[in-house]
Structure 1
Amino acid sequence: MGSRASAIDGTARAATVLPVGKVSELLGIPAVTLRTWEARYGLGPSGRTSGSHRRYTSADIKRLRRVQQLIARGVSAGDAARLSLGGDATTGHPAHRTQRLLEAAESLAVTELTDTLVECFLNWGAVETWTTLVSPAFRTLETRFGRTGDCTDIELVLAAAVTTSAERYLQLRKLSADKDRPILLVHSPAERHTLPLVVLRTALLERSRPVVVVGPDANERAVLQAIARTDPTTVVLWATIRRPGQLKLRNRVRETGSPFLLAGPGWPAAAAPIESLVAALEALTTPRHSTKF
């Protein structure tokens, strides 16, 4: 595989235009498949010789390689083609990637925004997408809101796009884990910041951990019923700020005897809540952690 990639890179540098047969040989893709991809998805050659014969350019070859990589991760050819035609969002300096993401959100380019995020999930996984792209984007918006207060709509569009793209990513990779006792992710009463649990669920499914999310509209009774019904390995109680009923819910969860973790800035510091995605994953996927507070 490494020698093939080296050959492709070397040939692409040496020649800016290549015929279909040569591209087929370099990439290991049958010529008939290349022609099918061109007809169905628009992944054809963009260069021309002096005699007006169409040829694949270095950029075309790079795009086809991305399609191959996405298909190898379980993405359908159609989705891989569409994502590859959207431009490579996973290259360049992190600050530039974040800026491109924010520009798409501000212009309400929802399709571009979602496709960019799906590709980042596919290339990096949930943890890196969150820590190097999404979280910095939200921090930028928080700073802007403190100065001008004019970006609530952008935050909502971005949050919705992250939620949609995470679900699409899970579907594309066919990631699910419904068997065995799950980890139960629970929002505290009236909690509206649901995105952290969306990303945590995605990261857990990447690790083949069964997980169930109890939505923010669930009342105390619904949460306790979910615990009784699923017998979870761990209950995660998420809160961004302190709200009425939060401590009561924690106490009721404790009474069930289920191991639980507190997560988010809405819990007292004395309770040592989990404060990052990486810390949550470590606590939930290693057997040595203490889960009762």
Structure 2
Amino acid sequence: MEVSAHADTESTDVGVTTGFLARKLGVSPTTLRSWDRRYGLGPAVRPDGRHRRWSHGDVEMVQEMCRLTASGVPPAEAARAAKEHARTADTAAPGPTPGPAPTAAPAPADEHSPAARARAAVSATAQVSHSGTGLPLGDVRQECRGLARAAVRLDAAAVQRQLTAVLEAYGPAVAWEEVMMPTLRAVGRKWETSGDRYVEVEHLLSWHIAATLRHSYVRASSSAARPDSSPVLLACLPGEQHTLPIEALTAVLAERGVPALMLGGAVPAEALLASVRRTGPSAVVLWSQSRSTASLALARHVAATRWGMRGARTRSAVLLCGPGWGRSGEAGLLRPTGLRDALRMLPAR
């Protein structure tokens, strides 16, 4: 059913339809009906023989539900808090008619408010493995649960708000290792076991993570590093397209004032070797996601490449990053187990 041209200006006395509200919030009509059936988050007035209409107060209640679940609050706790929020608003002293609920993150709630109590409940149950999303998250931070819920709903705005908030709160290293990567892995596992469902969720989440990490890099590098420092060169091997892990490392290096030269995915061998000779990097990070792209011959060639002035030529440290390299080490090559390990192995500046 098409929404009429004046739907956006429809009076709260008349109310809005379920379909319109679903589009406004970025959720499906099925989700709204499920919340109504399970938690009683439905229209207060239901005209007989007519489509349900959601009043201004109903809309604000469901907006609060969306905000809380996107921040990691379990749906049942969020529903209780949203209904109490609505009751509090109904009994508040009369005053000027409020405008629409803001879409930006609200000011921190009082510690005794319903929202604050709901968040406290999440903290108390942070080790519960059930995420409410159908994703196998396991024991993770509550931010993973909020991010997963937003991604499964394909709520791009909420995904971006969650990622931005996590990055600003914890920095790129913790954000990647403890929120972004666990959520991506859970989506990937669900994709593999559900007959190619959730592909769209993985693509949405990956795109927003990449955008967030690149924004972090650009913001940090604008004040960046010493121009006389040798960069860390980061590249995926030929045929390898999985760039997110080294994008995370690039963002962390920028945050720490370390110059980075990020070449991205599937870098041809000749281009990689030419870049090493031209830039003289202090270290070269080679990412391989699968054994089919890992090339020890190329890694050895990079490690043997000398650069610099004649009589003072030197080599770059080479880090083999990613599961494609397997667990075994290689003489003369460094094999970090993760982002923090790679940071420890990079030459001191």
TM-score where L is the length of structure 2:
0.54
Cα distance between partner residues in 1 of 2:339 and 2:108:
31
Is the Cα contact below 8 Å between 2:224 and 2:254 reproduced in 1?
Answer: yes
Q: Deviations over 1:239-261 (max 9, x none)?
A: 11122572232122022032211
Cα distance between partner residues in 2 of 1:223 and 1:146:
32
Q: 1:126 to 1:228 in 2, by over 3 A?
A: same
Q: Deviations over 1:153-207 (max 9, x none)?
A: 2112111110101122344554533722100112111112110001011111111
Pairing partner for 1:162 from 209, 213, 218: 209
SS of alignment partner, residue 261 of structure 1: strand
Partner of 1:24: none
Partner of 2:271: 222
- Counterparts of 1:129-144 in structure 2, within 5 Å, are 129-144=175-190
Pairing partner for 1:145 from 185, 188, 191: 191
Segments of 5+ residues of structure 2 without an aligned counterpart are: 1-88, 99-104, 110-118, 127-139, 306-314
| Alpha-carbon offset, residue 53 of structure 1 | 7.0
Cα distance between partner residues in 1 of 2:348 and 2:248:
19
Partner of 1:176: 224
Segments of 5+ residues of structure 1 without an aligned counterpart are: 1-45, 56-61, 67-87, 288-293
Partner of 1:279: 341
Q: Say what the alpha-carbon RMSD is for the aligned residues.
A: 3.1
Cα distance between partner residues in 1 of 2:148 and 2:93:
41
Is the Cα contact below 8 Å between 1:48 and 1:54 reproduced in 2?
Answer: no
Q: Extract structure 1 runs of 4+ deviating beyond 6 A.
A: 46-49
* Identity in percent: 25
Partner of 1:211: 260
Is the Cα contact below 8 Å between 2:151 and 2:204 reproduced in 1?
Answer: yes
Pairing partner for 1:265 from 323, 332, 349: 323
Is the Cα contact below 8 Å between 2:237 and 2:269 reproduced in 1?
Answer: no
Q: Deviations over 1:198-229 (max 9, x none)?
A: 10111111111111111223211111111111
What residue identity is the alignment partner of 1:156?
A: H
Is the Cα contact below 8 Å between 1:189 and 1:243 reproduced in 2?
Answer: no
1:247 aligns with 2:309: no
Cα distance between partner residues in 1 of 2:90 and 2:230:
55
Partner of 1:105: 151
What residue identity is the alignment partner of 2:270?
A: R
Q: 1:279 to 1:53 in 2, by over 3 A?
A: same
What residue identity is the alignment partner of 1:152?
A: V
Q: How many residues align?
A: 214
Of 229-238 and 209-218, the range deviating more from structure 2:
209-218
SS of alignment partner, residue 168 of structure 1: helix
| Alpha-carbon offset, residue 95 of structure 1 | 4.3
Partner of 1:235: 284
Higher gyration radius (CA): 2
SS of alignment partner, residue 269 of structure 1: coil
What residue identity is the alignment partner of 1:122?
A: E
Cα distance between partner residues in 1 of 2:169 and 2:206:
20
Higher helix share: 1
What residue identity is the alignment partner of 2:280?
A: D
Q: 1:285 to 1:107 in 2, by over 3 A?
A: farther
